[in-house]
Structures are given as C-alpha cells and as structure tokens.
Amino acid sequence: MDDTAARPKSLKFKEPVIDVAFSPTTNLVASSLITGHVFVHKYDVGSNQRQVRGKPHKKSCRSLCFSGDGSLLYTASKDRSWQAMDVETGAETTRIDAAHEKPLNLIKYVNEQIVATGDEAGCVKLWDVRQKKQAFSYSEHVDYVSDMVFHAPKRHLLATSGDGCLSVYDVRKAKPFQVSANQDDELLSVAVIRGGSKVVVGETDGVMGIFSYGQFGDVTDRFPGHPQSIDSICKLTEDLCVTGSSDGLLRIVQFFPHKLIGVAGDHQALPVEKVVLSHDQQWLASCSHDHTVHFWDIGYIYADEDEDDEASEAAEQKDTNESKEDDELDAQAVAIRISRDVDSDDEEDESEVDIDGCSDAGELRTSEETHPEETHPEETQTDVAQPDKPSLDAGADSEEVDIEDNSESESDNGWGSWGGSSDDEAKAAKPKKKRRKGEELADKRKARVELARPTQSHKRKTERKAFFAGL
C-alpha cells in the first residue's frame, strides 16, 4: 500500500455510508447512505464531481448496483422497496414497493432481463425487469441474505446467508440447484474464482471456506488467517482477491497456494462494509463507519500480471525460435546425409563400368570360369598325350619349340624329355601370363571397392595404424 501515490480524493458524507458501487463502463461511483440518500460522483485523480443526488427511499438504502451498460442504477431499501433510476438524469424508471415481506438487505444485477433481491428473513427473489414483476421466489435460508454473485457461464446465482449455508440457483428454474450443509458459522461474502472451478466464502471467524464448483455439499478447503470477520470479498484475478475485514484492513489474498500478499488499504480499525473494483481495474473503493468512501490504487497488481504475461510470451517465443532452429539444423543434417548417400550411389554407379568387357567382378569371374581353356586349346592336347607312346605330333611340337629356343633343343639332341619338354615349359609359361592378368583384374576390383567405400577403408586403416602404434 502506497499512501503517497496519486489517487482520487475520498468522498466524505454527513451520514454513514452503507454500500458503494462502480459503473462498469465509465468513471462513476455510486454511494448509498443510512438516510436513504443516493449519490453518484464522477471521480478523477484531480477532482470529483457530483452527478446525481437523490432520496429514492424513506429508510436506509442498504444496497445498490449498476446495470450491465451502466445506464441504470438499482437500489434496495429497508422500506422493502427496490427501484431503478437513470444515471444521467436521476429520474426513476422502475419501482417495486413491498417487494418482500421483510426489509431488503441486498440487490444484484443478473442480466438485462433479471435482477435479484434478498431480505432479512433469507428469501431470495428474481424479478423480470421488462414486465416489472416477480419471476421466482426461493426460501431455502432461515436468516438474512448477506451476499450474492452471478456466475454467467452456468447461469447460476450463488447466495450466502447468516444461517451458515451457501445456496445455488439456476435463474431459469423455480427450484434451487443446490444448498450446502451448515458451516457452523455465518457466511458473509462470496466470490467465484479459478475460472469458475472454485467458490470462496468469508466467515465471521475470519476463515475463508473454499467449495469446489458443483460440489456444494461442504467445503473442500479452508484458509484461516483473518483476525476478525470477512465482511466483503472483491475478486481481482482468478487467483487474487481483496477482502474487507472488521479490523479495517483491505488484504490482498492469493489462492492455490494460499497466502497473504499484502495490504491494499486501512480504515483505521473501523469495520469495512464493502470493497469494489473499478471498470479499468485501476482503483478500489471501500466504505466504512467513518462516513467516507476511500479510493486505493490497485493497478500495480495488473501491471505485474501483464509483465508476467509478457515474460511468459517472450519465453514461449524463445522456445518456438529454438525449436525452429533445431528443426532447421535437423533438416540440414538430413540434407547432408541424403547428399552423401547420393554421392555414394553415384560412385557405385561409376564402379559398375565394364572392366575388360565385364560389367563387374562377378561377371568377370563368371566369364573366366565359363571359358577357362578358350585361349590355349593346345595345352589340353599336350596334357592327354601318353608318355610311353611318342607320336609325330609330339615331335612337331618339339621342332616348334626348337625354333623358339635352340639352347634347349641342343641339350636333348632333338628328342626332348618327357618330364621336361619344351611343351611343358610353354605350358608352364602361359598360366603365369594368365595369373598376371588375373592379378591386374584383382587390383582393379580392389581399387573399385575402395572407391565405393572410402569411409570403411579409412576406418580400417586407422584401426590398423592404432593397433601397430600400440605394440
């Protein structure tokens, strides 16, 4: 709480103020007095201007509220009447006398067709504004109606009572939706929080009871901490509320986890009758027994909320950007792998080019195995000749060898040796030439494999070097 902060000046009256309400659309605040007078002021940081002054009721005006568009002001009185007045002119537009059998305690705007009222005996009534007559009447409570709140998503009207019960009404039906068990203490105030999942009530012993929405049989949680009764609850956010207590303090309370955040205002030990929030969420207004309506700056709560939202959005944006960068990197890595695979496929395609008329090593081996003797048919004839039956063919072969190598012919006198003839030497020479050609093909095949798998070859070489280096 900052007492030095600029804020509208307090509104001072000659009589005690019972209720206060903000317009939902403009900078107007309405106040009701114990004398039955009603005032409407235009508030500002610089100065306040009175717009309407009137006395619509003979007895004390106990409750008031604005319509949804801010054009009408509804008031309820101890004289058992309620009325609607034009905010701009102050003229009365609707009036219902003897609306209840007992004095009215409360009036609540529901929607453009319905307003709700509650009296000292616990009776709750819904009124059709267009037809200006009663729609439904409920008598579930046996003590005064202390507070009401309308939950629009469910079309439920929730009411607290001095008998210790919370009642829930569907405004479209004549019977109550649900009534809670007695909480063994007076319920003085109510608010719907946590996106409609929780309902919090203020009790006379300073405890805040918490109901789970839809399970109104009994409270599911309790939050003690206030030294005296909680007479008013004003919702700030889904997790924050301001409470007005009999000790005069306006406390900012957080739910889930439950804790006290700070103090928004102080009425110097005088009981707080009502606390409300302005339409722009900048000011709180509260009234007490000091004949004054005070304004309190509460905008910093929402500024902090905005900063948290901005920080959260920035963090989300950062995470999104990082995710996009990761996706781009993944895409680049995939592209690189695909490029390497394509290059490898190209190398394999190049390695399939014919070597000496063969498309690959398999075809080469097949060709060699299919025609192993195609190039030297005379070797077979030599191999099948019998050593003990010399023939003219053998001599002819010897003569041909003598022409190629005279030194060998002189050593065997032209006859040759069956174990070491010139035919045998020719036979031994030709396979050597064939083996040399096979070795060349094997080298080519090895080189082709090395080109097709350079990474594995390099890995094997590296491992081999590392192995020998460690010896």
What pLDDT was estimated at residue 328?
Answer: 72
At residue 28, the 3 state secondary structure works out as strand
Please tell me the predicted confidence (pLDDT) of residue 46: 84
Q: Decide if pLDDT at 112 tops 70.
A: yes
pLDDT of the residue at 308 = 55
Q: DSSP assignment, residue 71?
A: S
- Report the distance separating Cα 322 and Cα 328, nearest Å: 10
421-467 residue pLDDT tens: 445 444 444 444 445 666 777 777 776 656 655 555 556 666 666 76
DSSP state of 82: E
User: Treating both helix axes as pointing N-terminal to C-terminal, what angle do 422-452 and 361-370 enclose, rounded to 10 degrees?
Assistant: 160
Phi then psi for residue 10, to 5 deg, are -65, 150
C-alpha 159/C-alpha 148 separation (Å) is 4
- What is the four-CA torsion angle of 5, 8, 12, 16, rounded to 10 degrees? -90
- Alpha carbon 413 to chain centroid, angstroms: 108
**pLDDT tens by residue, 220-249:** 999 999 999 999 999 999 999 999 999 999
Going by C-beta distance under 8 Å and a sequence separation of 6 or more, which residues neighbour residue 379? 373, 427, 430
What is the Cα–Cα distance from 213 to 198, expressed in whole angstroms? 5
Rounded CA gap, 107 and 124, in Å? Answer: 10
d(CA 151, CA 110): 9
Which of 195, 234, 230 minimizes the C-alpha distance to 213?
195
The mean pLDDT value for 170-191 works out to: 96
- Each as own residue / partner, the long-range contacts of residues 397-401 (CB below 8 Å, 24 or more positions apart, any chain) are 397/421, 397/422, 397/423, 398/422, 398/423, 401/425, 401/426
User: Measured between alpha carbons, how far is 79 from 75 in angstroms, rounded to an integer?
Assistant: 11
Query: Distance between CA atoms of 74 and 86, rounded to whole angstroms?
Result: 9
Which is more confident, 322 or 121? 121
Give the pLDDT confidence of 332-363 residue by residue, as tens digits.
777 776 766 655 655 555 544 444 444 444 44
Q: Which amino acid is it at 437?
A: K
**Intra-chain end-to-end CA distance of the chain, in Å:** 80
Q: How many residues does the chain have?
A: 471
Tell me what percent of the residues of the chain surpass a pLDDT of 70.
Answer: 67
pLDDT exceeds 50 at position 393: no
The pLDDT, as a whole number, for residue 442 is 74
Q: pLDDT tens, 88-105?
A: 999 999 999 999 999 999
Axis-axis angle for helices 392-404, 422-452 (nearest 10)? 70
Q: Is 244 exposed, middle or buried (0-12, 13-18, 19+ CB in 10 A)?
A: buried
pLDDT in tens, 435-446: 566 677 777 777
Cβ(99)–Cβ(118) below 8 Å: no
Mean pLDDT of 4-22: 92
E strand or H helix at 302:
helix 299-351
The span from the CA of 457 to the CA of 448, in Å, is 12
What's the pLDDT tens digit per position in 40-84? 999 999 889 999 999 999 999 999 999 999 999 999 999 999 999
DSSP state of 182: P
